[in-house]
Each structure stands twice: as structure tokens, then as C-alpha cells.
Chain A
């Protein structure tokens, strides 16, 4: 079980969180003209990366904040966690 540092609450066990997918995906602006191809990429297509990956988690059974977590998908090492409003550097 992973041990995730919530930027608001501190170190917490994985079972307090829920996974929320790739944190680098940006939703197209509302009303934006967008091709089928680009929309499909946003909705469906995700890379299944091996290695460092920025992902979203929600501290569901804690502060309920969505956070960004940089994790190695192969080793589970967590390098950094950020608040929702902090930019991935």
C-alpha cells in the first residue's frame, strides 16, 4: 500500500485516496472549436507510461482535495506531491 504525502494533511495511506488519472491532460476550453481527433485524444487516449508520471489523486477520506502526485509507475516511488493549484514544474 502506497504512502502518499497529501500537501494539506501530510503522510497518509493509499486507502484514503482515490486515483484520478493523468495530471498532465488539460481539458479543452468550453466552447472551443476542436477536431474529432483532438477531442478523442482528450477523452480516450492515454499513454500507459512506465516510469515517472504525474497523476491525480483525491484525498477522498481526508480533506477531499484533488492533488498532483509524481510517481514512478514501475517502482511506485513518489517524488513529489502538489496542490491542485500548483503547476507541475
Chain B
């Protein structure tokens, strides 16, 4: 297939390397260095999609990040990605792309009926129409709108690509490698500053690649190339192409997405697809240039109408003609540069200039080339449906209000230039108070809030000489302040053509009797008439107008539409543009893939995984694991065909009858040392701690200042000034911070040190009536009798040469011990315990059996200490000291906490002794009461009691104290269950606590 719109020569593409690709199922060829857009245009393809609302045909409008139309669904290496701009996507071998917003095909689109019904789709259409009847929204309206108004389809497959994050610090971050970016980077680099220069496109140089200028006796491109190659050699410079700085956040933190592999057929091994850079810069130089703005006229969204600068870029960079009969419609000199480029390539353009008698070097050159120039002329409307076929043009009066007689001329493209809009997005994001520059009719950065400066065209400076001078100077000056070097760069001789002032004309009036759609926002299909309606309906604030009409709300964020929208509002409102103000710019400047934002934190990498030193033993012994925070804990150890229920019942039963062992390494452990350690504990815990003897452990509860239970656990006095605190697995980190808070800020006079030792110790709980027999075998030289090591006692022991801490504490309610050894010996300890316990029938037990044991014993855990309960609610009021003050004590005397009928923990047993009670169910008095049925309490934890062989639950119940013996109902609408139950004591097993002391 011939590329009928490719020039014979020219461009920066590699004509020796042909690349084949597919668009909408058809095969095409392009060259290395093409974008999908340039390759399609070279092949004469101008119809690329359908518009968002009216499904009107869409072509290409720009040549880069500003593109509002050419959004495609991309297929690469078996994966698909939506929302890809054809103007940014570099061509690679085997690339496949499809149009979006069209069904069944781009050429015949059913949704285009909206276009003919457009009288029914004015501003606020969705708000007005789809609000009623309400029940229609979810089932009918929303799915329809979603199907009809998408920008492609996200893949629902797992993304196999890798995305990385990188943190970087630099002296100067420079965003954009046009003349201002290169000049400032160069002079800053010469001063030894650490510089990052980011370029969004694949090629460095920005406008230097397309403008006809001369710097130091080189062409713009040659100069750019020489600066870039010098910068690349410097060790203090990082220079990145395909890298978009899209967000400016607080404290000079900027985020950049680097597209590492998107231009390749597939990602290289060990390479990421994209990399997200978090850059903390001392100074930021914004050199993001400017974007040409369109002039608004009838049917200005027809494929073939595009920015004049884009037409020039397609010729100069890609060697591609956007048309062979071009019309250039301009209000300034830029259009002439495009026309001259057409002429140089053997194509005769016609220039329509809205100005009456403009004069400048560039205009002179165009005249000398015999280009047809019509002054005081405008395009009234483009004609043609899927491609521009002709244009209705007319003379316009000096006051720009009256059109002369309309004539029709043939053309195949209309290149529009309505002057230039500085790209102030990053500056605005940084908090810069932008100001309106009358001269260029656009906003420019004003007062900086952060360390940021804007250069060149982004700052409204449109001449090369001034841009370079300012940029060399700013780069030198800012870096000098950081590095104290002052290596002046000699300023090169600059030759550029002088241009004259632009005409502040932006919208062509409608001719009499015609009602052409004149679009402001090309991606969201917002026309002049929509804004007029919004204002008629009383919308005044530009932020409201934006939301009501969706002007500037599409993925292009109004890069080409915002200013014209403002012009229109200010004209109707009879206000100046700065009085209307612009809407807030927010990151990202241009769409970023979710994968890049998430980075490596996916799947099992979404959080760290903590494993105990005994983990591999559990694995070898058929443990089924469960997530406990970031820990992996054995839930149960599967034997044969057992399920969770059977296995946990067996394990729990074995603890009650023989002996079991449980990995309790995950418990939080805090080492507390210092002469005031006891005093700290006494203030933190609700019970008394000053008289705990060395070698003894004590159970304690700590509160927050608001009286709510924060955590519980045992703390053991190891020696005079040394304590070992345990916390629950979940609260370990919070408790440490809590202690540090009080020690550092509230009671700095206390001489105490706290440090986490959770990972330093491996722990095993040995529980059951035969646990002492196991212990005797493990520590033959220690006296572990009931007298030698009584309940809540502590001793150190020698576990076959390994130093061990032995605590006689119990969570299961059985005679039990917890043995701790240094983590490295954890596996050894575990094997020894299993070995010693074999003759007593020892079995490992997991968290499920652990829960069963504590629930039927009425021991509280996370599901009761849930951040809503006070000690009384958990029947822990016996642990509250009356004699001393402690954290949160004052709150307990508040009225609600002392109420007579306050909630309290109780036990719940189903009357049929069979039906399991779902956790989270509600307790009610009357299961048939009208809704909402008054709730008396809730089920916090459920198990199958192995002691009684029937279901048993714990509940937090209103007036629980007086409810024992009552018959209530458990209701679970979620499980559709109603269960008659009896309220019993929460201590369902061994209520007197004899076993732990046996």
C-alpha cells in the first residue's frame, strides 16, 4: 500500500525501516519514528473515531499531548489498553489499534443518531433528562450512558507488565526540552547543579524541531542536538525523554511518568513498562511551552480541521501532508509559517487572515512565495461529513460583527491558528496565582507559592531570542545559589523572523439563517450554544458552567478549549476574561496509567508478608494459612480430608484433653527498661503495677484517654528495672507509639526506654492438662512444678543449650505456658516441643482452634476490644484500680459509661444446640417486631464449643448484666437466619478459672 500523503523526502523518520501495523483490522505501513497518528495520516486515514456525545466523526486535531480526538484502543503483545492518544503513541512493529466510541464501526455508527437528535442533547442534558423516574437510573439510564459514552474498554485481565517507582532528589527539575528547557538546563548544569530534564515526547528539542530559526550558525534542531548530547555526557544531569511531569504537589514534590516500553512491540525482559518518578526538587523550571488555540467556526470539528502547528509538525517531523489542498485560517503570523512549509513541499495553500493589513517579515516571505493570502477573511463553516471537502468563507467587517457574502471554496483540510496559550498547568497546580496577560490574551503564571519559575512560551514569551536569554540567565542564577559556582555560558547569536501582533479574534459569527454547531470543547462535544444555555439558566461561576456543560472536563482537560470557553462567558456576561477567571488545574496534566501509580505494590507485593521462624515447619505439616494483619499464621493443620470446622474442633479438643502447641510469635513484644518502668506501667494500665515482684507476670488492660479499651496483654517483670510487655498482634505498632508519646511528650521526667522486640523472639504456647509433662521434658533442670512455676510465674530455662523464657500464662484457659527463644532458635524450639510432646499426644493448633478456646472461656480479643467498648463492657471492671489515676480513667466516670443498663459481654447458646450463629448478627427481643427492629446487641464471636459440643457465641448486649437466662432471637438478614437463643454467662468453660492454676 502506498503512503499517498507521505512526502518524498524530509522529516526525522527513518525511511529505511518500514513498520507494519493494523488499524480497525486493516493493514498499513509506516516508518520508524512515526506516531500512530502520523502513519495513519500518511496513509490517508483521517477518520479515527466518533465523538463522545453526538458520535460525530473525529479525525486528528493536534500532533501531541493536546490531542482531543484521536483516542484509540491499543493492542500490544496480547494486552489491550484504552485511552491512548494516537498522536503520542509511537509506531512499533505489529501495533494494533481500534476506534472507540463507535458501534458497530467507525464508518457506520448507530450512536450518531444523537447528532441528529442534538436539539435534545443540550447543556445539562443528563441532569435534566435522566433524573426521573428515579428507579430508571440504575437499570436503564446509567448502563446506556456508560455503553454509549466511553473512551475505550479497560482490560479485566491481570496486567502482566511491571511498573516501577523511583524516588529522586535534584537541584533543578526542568519540564520540557524546548529552547527554554535546554538553555536553562545547560547553564544550570555548567554550574554543577544536579539537573533533571524531562521531555514528554520521544525527541528532544520541542519547537526547535519545527521552527525555521538559526542559533549560533546552526539550525534550531542542530543546536538542540548538540546541547542534548553535551548534557547526556554530564554526570550531574539526568535527561529523560518519553517522560511527562504530570503533577506538582506540595513542598516541590513532582511526579513524572516515564514510558519505558510503550514504544516497543513488547517489554524487554527485566524491564518495566513504565516508571513513576517522585522527584523532590529544590527549584523547578517550567518550560512546557504553549499550545495553539483554535478559532471557533461552524462545523469546526469536521475531520481535516486541525491546528496549524500540528500540520507543520506532521510535515517537518514526519514528512507527512495533512492535506493537498490546504486552507490556513489564522489570526496571527504562525499560520503563515505553516503555509510556507506547505509551499516549500509543493502544495499551494490559501491563507485566510482575520487581520486587515498585517505586516511582518514572515508575511513578506509568504507574499514573495506567491502564496494566496486573503485578508479580513474567515472560515464560516467547514463542509463535508467524514472529511473536510470545502469551506464556506466570507469577508468580515472591521468590527468583526458582520459577515460579507458567503462563498464556497474546495479544500481538504483547514489549518487553524488562533494564537498561543501558555501551558500553565504545572504552575497552577503548584499554587501559583496566575494572571491574565492582555497582550497575548491568555493566562500566565504570576506569584509563585513554591520554588517554581516559568520560562519561555509557557510564560508568554514568544520570541526565541528573549526566551533563550531569560532561560540561560534563570538556569545560571538558580544553580549559582545552590552550588556557588558561576560559569557563565556565552549567549549564541539568534536569527529568527520577526512577527507582528495577533488579532484578538476567536469566534466566527453565524451567518444569517444558519445554525452550525460551533465547538469549543472537542472531546466532550461542548458547543457555543451549550454555554449560552448554561448562562441563560443562571449558571455564573466558571466552575459551575464547567460542571454543567462538561466544558474542559474530558481527559484532555480542555487544553485547546478552556480559553475560548472563557472568552465566550466573558463576552455574554460582558466581563473581562480575568474577571471570569479560569477553573482549577489539577493533576494529572495528561492521563497516567493506573499500573504506573500502583507500581510494584500489586498482588502479594501489595503489603509485606511477615512469617514466623517456624513457618516452614507449618508448611511441611499441611498448615492452611490465614492473614493476620501482615502476618501469615496457620489457621489449622489439615489431616486427610478434614475441613476447617473438623480440623479446628480436633485441635481445640486435643488442647482440652491432652496438650497442644500454637505459634504465638506474632504477638507484639515491647522491652521496657529503666528505673521508672513500673511507674510507666502503672500509668498506662488500669490495674496496679508498682508491687509486681520480679519473676511474675500480670494481665493488664490499657485505655485511650476517652476510656475505650485500646489493648490488653501480659507484662512480666524480668528483673528490677526490666519488663517484657506483650500486646495483641494487631495493636503492636500502635501500643509502641502510644508509649513513646507519653514518654516523650507528656511525662518526659520518667526515666524509661521502650523498644519493640517482636521480631527478636519466637514464641510457642504449650497448652492443655498435659503441658507440664511436656515442659518437664524440655527443661529437666528447671523446677516447673505448680510450686516452682505457679500461675503467672516466669523463669528462665535452658532448652538443650538455648536460653529460653518461660511464662506460665494462658489464653486457652487450660494449664499453659509460653516459651520464647531468640528467633533464630524458633524452629529448633518448635521441633523439640513436638518431639517431647509426642508421647502425650501433642498436636499443633492454629488460630481457629485458638479462637474456639478463648471464646468458650470468655476471654476477650479483638472482636470485643473493637474500639467501641470500655472495660465494664468486657467484664474487665475488676481490673480498674480505685486508688490510682491512669490514662483514660477520668473518662470512665462520664455519665454514659456509668449507665445502669450499659452493654456487657454475655454468652449466647442456640436453643436447639445445633444452629451455628453468624458473627455480626443482631440480638432482638421479638423476631416479628416491625422494622426497624430495636437491636439489643450484637454477636462478636462464634465457635463450636468443644467442651459442650454445641454452638456458643459471645455477644455485647444492652443491660447484659441482668440478661442472663433470658430468651432472645439472633437475626442475620445477611444469612437470612432467625435463631432463638438463650443468654448465658460469657464464661462457658471453667468459670472459676481452676484449670489455669492446676
Please tell me if the beta carbons of B740 and A43 are within 8 angstroms of each other in the complex. Answer: no
Q: Pick the contact of B737 from A39, A44, A58, A78 — CB < 8 Å?
A: A58
* Neighbouring A residues of B167 by C-beta, 8 Å: 13
Q: Pick the contact of B251 from A3, A30, A39, A44 — CB < 8 Å?
A: A3
Chain A interface size, as a band, is 20 to 34
**Given known A39-B891, A64-B740, contact A31–B252 (CB-CB < 8 A):** no
Cα distance A30–B167 in the bound complex, in angstroms: 45
Q: What string of 1s and 0s marks CB contacts (under 8 Å) between A43-76 and chain B?
A: 1100000000000101010001110000000011
**Given known A43-B891, A76-B251, A84-B744, contact A30–B706 (CB-CB < 8 A):** no
Q: What string of 1s and 0s marks CB contacts (under 8 Å) between A11-55 and chain B?
A: 001000010100000011011001010010011100000000000
Please tell me if the beta carbons of A13 and B280 are within 8 angstroms of each other in the complex. Answer: yes
Please tell me if the beta carbons of A20 and B741 are within 8 angstroms of each other in the complex. Answer: yes
* Neighbouring A residues of B278 by C-beta, 8 Å: 1
Closest-by-CB residue of B relative to A28 is: B890
Q: Pick the contact of B745 from A1, A30, A44, A66 — CB < 8 Å?
A: A66
Does chain B have a CB within 8 A of A89? no
- Interface hits, B875-896 → A, CB 8 Å: 884-886, 890-891, 894
**Given known A27-B746, A36-B894, contact A1–B885 (CB-CB < 8 A):** no
Within the complex, the shortest CB–CB distance from A78 to chain B, in Å, comes to: 8
Cα distance A23–B495 in the bound complex, in angstroms: 60
Please tell me if the beta carbons of B250 and A56 are within 8 angstroms of each other in the complex. Answer: no
* Neighbouring B residues of A30 by C-beta, 8 Å: 683, 885-886
* Neighbouring B residues of A31 by C-beta, 8 Å: 884-885
Please tell me if the beta carbons of B890 and A66 are within 8 angstroms of each other in the complex. Answer: no
**Using a Cβ cutoff of 8 Å, how many contacts connect chains A and B?**
56
Q: Pick the contact of A18 from B250, B683, B737, B886 — CB < 8 Å?
A: B737
Q: Which of B252, B683, B745 has the most CB of A within 10 A?
A: B745
Closest-by-CB residue of A relative to B706 is: A43
Q: Pick the contact of A66 from B449, B705, B740 — CB < 8 Å?
A: B740
Cα distance A55–B745 in the bound complex, in angstroms: 12
Cα distance A34–B745 in the bound complex, in angstroms: 21
Please tell me if the beta carbons of A66 and B741 are within 8 angstroms of each other in the complex. Answer: yes
Within the complex, the shortest CB–CB distance from B282 to chain A, in Å, comes to: 11
Cα distance A11–B886 in the bound complex, in angstroms: 36
Within the complex, the shortest CB–CB distance from B735 to chain A, in Å, comes to: 13
Cα distance A58–B743 in the bound complex, in angstroms: 13
* Neighbouring A residues of B740 by C-beta, 8 Å: 58, 64-66
Please tell me if the beta carbons of B705 and A42 are within 8 angstroms of each other in the complex. Answer: yes
Cα distance A39–B737 in the bound complex, in angstroms: 23
Does chain A have a CB within 8 A of B249? yes
Cα distance A69–B891 in the bound complex, in angstroms: 29
Q: Pick the contact of A1 from B249, B449, B884, B891 — CB < 8 Å?
A: B249
**Given known A13-B280, A58-B737, contact A2–B251 (CB-CB < 8 A):** yes
Chain B interface size, as a band, is 20 to 34
Does chain A have a CB within 8 A of B748? yes
Please tell me if the beta carbons of B431 and A75 are within 8 angstroms of each other in the complex. Answer: yes
Within the complex, the shortest CB–CB distance from B918 to chain A, in Å, comes to: 34
Q: Pick the contact of B250 from A2, A20, A44, A60 — CB < 8 Å?
A: A2
Please tell me if the beta carbons of A1 and B250 are within 8 angstroms of each other in the complex. Answer: yes
Cα distance A81–B431 in the bound complex, in angstroms: 23
Please tell me if the beta carbons of A75 and B891 are within 8 angstroms of each other in the complex. Answer: no
Cα distance A4–B397 in the bound complex, in angstroms: 60
Please tell me if the beta carbons of A39 and B890 are within 8 angstroms of each other in the complex. Answer: yes
* Neighbouring B residues of A84 by C-beta, 8 Å: 744-745, 748
* Neighbouring A residues of B884 by C-beta, 8 Å: 31
Please tell me if the beta carbons of B705 and A3 are within 8 angstroms of each other in the complex. Answer: no
Closest-by-CB residue of A relative to B683 is: A30
Please tell me if the beta carbons of B890 and A1 are within 8 angstroms of each other in the complex. Answer: no
Within the complex, the shortest CB–CB distance from B166 to chain A, in Å, comes to: 13
Cα distance A28–B887 in the bound complex, in angstroms: 10
Cα distance A28–B884 in the bound complex, in angstroms: 15
* Neighbouring A residues of B885 by C-beta, 8 Å: 30-31
Cα distance A85–B746 in the bound complex, in angstroms: 10
Within the complex, the shortest CB–CB distance from B704 to chain A, in Å, comes to: 9
Please tell me if the beta carbons of B737 and A60 are within 8 angstroms of each other in the complex. Answer: yes
Cα distance A87–B705 in the bound complex, in angstroms: 23
Does chain A have a CB within 8 A of B592? no
Cα distance A45–B938 in the bound complex, in angstroms: 30
- Interface hits, B269-284 → A, CB 8 Å: 278, 280
Closest-by-CB residue of A relative to B249 is: A1
Closest-by-CB residue of A relative to B431 is: A75
* Neighbouring A residues of B850 by C-beta, 8 Å: none
* Neighbouring B residues of A3 by C-beta, 8 Å: 250-253, 280
Within the complex, the shortest CB–CB distance from A42 to chain B, in Å, comes to: 7
Closest-by-CB residue of A relative to B449 is: A75
* Neighbouring A residues of B890 by C-beta, 8 Å: 28, 34, 39
* Neighbouring B residues of A66 by C-beta, 8 Å: 740-741, 744-745
Closest 3 CB pairs of A and B: A3-B251, A30-B885, A84-B744
